[in-house]
A and B are shown apart, each in its own frame.
Chain A
Amino acid sequence: MKSIFSENLSDPQRTAGPEAMAETTAQRRPVRWHIAVFLAPAVLIYTAVMILPLFGTLQLSLFRTVDNVPVFAGFDNFRMLFGDPRWSANFWNALGNNTWFFIIHMLVQNPIGVVLAALLSSPKLRFSAFYRTAIFIPTILSFVIVGFAWKLILSPLWGVAPNVLDLVGLKSLFVPWLGKEEYALTTLGLISVWQFVGIPMMLIYAALLSIPDEVIEAAECDGITGMAQFWKIKLPLILPSIGIISILTFVGNFNAFDLIYSAQGALAGPNYATDILGTFLYRTFFGFQLQVGDRNMGATIASMMFFIILAGVCVYLFTIQTRLRRYQY
């Protein structure tokens, strides 16, 4: 601990050469206990409740349970997941659906969020507090509420969706979207977008508000206003926020489970058309209908999700984030 917290890279004595520095830091530099105090509570809780159990799960994926005794199995579980056609078909289906789910969010949710935030942040806009509050409301509702509410609204039994379409003369377009294999996943993706558009909106809104007036005024003096101002001045300044939102969306979507579970059940019907990695994991882990829950295969799928998400985050951290410019106002 001592050597970790006692070195100060900005220490002017650093220029005195490595030996001199090692000597002075060991003797004169006090241990910076406050760093440890600041870090300790977060690191302790996080390690005990999150990291250790996660490693426990990764470990479980390398074992099989035979007669209630865990037996080391190496990569047999992974071989089964990809080699056995029953498993691999399910896995690729879930991964494909999950990717589509993510694409819907990136193409629909985030652009809508940016547009709404840009409109909200325009100066002298009346009722902006009202809009902001109202548009964020779906985000605060739980998946249980959203799943059931949309299930009821889209249900052909209860005529809300056909009635609304009738108002705009499009009644013929109505189909039971959640019940059709070809539409169900997209419908659920859009429901999820409806629910979560408030998050990119709020983050971008906060970023836009933190752009200093001087920058905007300077742009106006140069004759850059309206759309051009947004594209040339504001957008580059909020790019780091958009980067954060993209990676949050990616992680959130590849962990998604609740909405599909609430609306379509653990079987992710119709005919697994809405099965994503989260529901696949749940079914494998806890079992469903005739299949018995399998802890080790569950851990294997969980590990695969872990690697997929890890890959996405590495792409963000090492390629996207390092290229984004940061401005200090």
Chain B
Amino acid sequence: MSKATSSPVRTIAAHAVLLAYTVIALFPVLVIVINAFKSRNAIFRTPLMPPTPETFDLVGFRTVLAQGDFFLYFQNSLIVTVVSLFLVLLFGAMAAFALSEYRFKGNTLMGLYLALGIMIPIRLGTVAILQLMVASGLVNTLTALILVYTAQGLPLAVFILSEFMKQVSDDLKNAGRIDGLSEYTIFFRLVLPLVRPAMATVAVFTMIPIWNDLWFPLILAPSEETKTVTLGAQIFIGQYVTNWNAVLAALSLAIVPVLVLYLIFSRQLIRGITAGAVK
């Protein structure tokens, strides 16, 4: 490495900027979480202090857990997110491969058709989607949400993945063909492992809107058994707006599981990104 890239001044400056932004990113989350563990008086008197033995109080969490079935909500969110994510990645990668690898009549048109969904929010079709789900008896099921989220995630997945698949070397695929591999084997064995970093990126971008969506759970699956954690938290906070302990506790409960999930998942993500980049 040259001198310039490893000079201490530069490194310190980089750390200062990154640390400053990390503080900005984490501060609001931290404030919410530490105050959830405090008594009502302490929340208002010393909002920036961590809970001390005198101010420690779990009354907010007791209210939340007595009122809502957050474990069930969490389970629903998890099922919907994981299944949709799997379908989006599999089907999206398959379609992206077809579009980036083969030349056939209508290729560009098909690409544009699939890309249309990036620009149009699926929400604009809500009324017709609701009619469709009512007609097929899927209202208040997790299947309805999975279908909608799969359709919603596919366009972006196809778009990003075909950008990346265009960069996969043709020689490699042709070598596979000469060795007698079928097109399916080439896709699953050669191309998919090479676009893994892109898949990880797509996974994160697909997962977040699904997990956080409020609109479709509210319209397609608002029943108690199918409520997602976002909808559950929204309804709960709406009801307890003046009970600061309960609101802060509900926010913390909504934050912590996602955070844990993310911390587990981010290792995969980062490994995927770096593994693909270091050739």
Contact = CB atoms under 8 A, between A and B. Distances in A.
Interface of A: 3-5, 7-10, 32, 34-35, 37-39, 41-43, 45-46, 48-54, 56-57, 60, 112, 115-116, 119-120, 122-127, 129-145, 148-150, 152-153, 158-160, 163-164, 194, 197, 199, 202-203, 205-206, 209-210, 212, 220, 225-226, 240, 244, 247-248, 251, 255, 257-258, 261-262, 295, 299, 302-303, 305-306, 309-310, 312-313, 317, 326, 328-329
B50 to A, nearest CB: 14
Given A10-B103, A206-B273, A53 B125 contact: yes
B190 interface: no
A144 B233 contact: yes
A45 B91 contact: yes
B18 A49 contact: no
Determine which residue in B94, B119, B274 has the highest number of CB atoms from chain A within 10 A of its CB, and name it.
B119
Given A42-B91, A42-B158, 16 more contacts: A4-B105, A41-B91, A42-B114, A57-B128, A120-B18, A125-B11, A135-B22, A138-B25, A140-B211, A142-B233, A145-B254, A148-B247, A149-B251, A210-B197, A257-B215, A317-B112
Contacts of B117: 46, 50-51
B47 A210 contact: no
A226 B11 CA distance: 12
A120 B38 CA distance: 36
Contacts of A56: 125, 127-128, 131
Contacts of B87: 45
Interface stretch (B26-34, B52-60, B68-76): B26-34
A14 to B, nearest CB: 11
Nearest to A327: B167
A166 B128 CA distance: 52
Chain A interface SS verdict (over half): helix
A39 B94 contact: yes
Interface residues of B, number: 110
Given A5-B104, A41-B94, A56-B128, A131 B212 contact: no
A168 B262 CA distance: 33
A150 B277 contact: no
A180 B250 CA distance: 28
25 contacts: A7-B105, A8-B103, A39-B110, A42-B158, A43-B114, A51-B117, A52-B125, A54-B124, A124-B1, A126-B15, A131-B19, A137-B262, A139-B208, A140-B258, A141-B29, A141-B212, A144-B254, A158-B47, A159-B47, A194-B25, A247-B118, A262-B214, A262-B234, A328-B169, A329-B167
Closest 10 CB pairs of A and B: A53-B125, A56-B128, A53-B128, A209-B277, A142-B212, A38-B98, A49-B151, A42-B95, A225-B4, A255-B121
B175 interface: no
A42 B214 contact: no
B147 interface: yes
B259 A140 contact: yes
Contact of B6 (A5, A124, A131): A124
Contact of A220 (B2, B105, B121): B2
Contacts of B244: 152, 158
B17 interface: yes
A10 B174 CA distance: 13
A3 B183 CA distance: 20
Interface in B79-118: 87, 90-92, 94-95, 97-99, 102-106, 110, 112-118
A25 to B, nearest CB: 11
Contacts of A148: 237, 247, 251
Contacts of A54: 120, 122, 124-125, 128
A119 B278 CA distance: 18
Contact of A205 (B99, B255, B273): B273
A265 to B, nearest CB: 10
Given A42-B158, A50-B122, A209-B277, A158 B44 contact: yes
A50 B6 contact: no
Given A5-B104, A46-B154, A148-B251, A51 B116 contact: yes
B205 A199 contact: yes
B24 interface: yes
Given A50-B122, A148-B247, A159 B44 contact: yes
A210 B275 CA distance: 10
A136 B118 CA distance: 22
B104 A137 contact: no
